[in-house]
Amino acid sequence: MIGIRTGLPLPSGWEIFLQLLVYFMVEDYTNYWIHRFLHGKWGYEKIHKVHHEYTAPIGFAAPYAHWAEILILGIPSFLGPAMVPGHMITFWLWIALRQIEAIETHSGYACYAFLIC
């Protein structure tokens, strides 16, 4: 319905790269503001405090959250592909990279994307 392709031809490397770049930028921007809202008084007390039950940095804390937070923070992950639809391969690669990023940012290590820590 939103235009994600599933057939041939497969996307070029540049097409995948540029779409993933847009996806990361859209997700990062919108996720920042939603996460900031969830750290406000109402958002934290009602929803986000579940995510902070772990006091030490742990990768498992990335998906551990209130059901409403999972739904709310899922919106930024799908907003980029909805704005700039690509191929299903690009979409699945995006979802995999997004999960890796979420686990890495909650691990407690100061790593940067695609660099050896």
pLDDT band at 51 (very low <50, low <70, confident <90, very high): confident
Other beta carbons less than 10 A from residue 15's beta carbon: 13
Q: For residue 60, what pLDDT is reported?
A: 76
**What is residue 9's three-state secondary structure?**
coil
Q: For residue 56, what pLDDT is reported?
A: 74
29-53 mean pLDDT: 92
**What is residue 70's three-state secondary structure?**
helix
Q: Could you read off the pLDDT of 52-108 as tens digits, one per residue?
A: 888 777 777 788 889 999 999 899 999 999 999 999 999 999 999 998 888 888 887
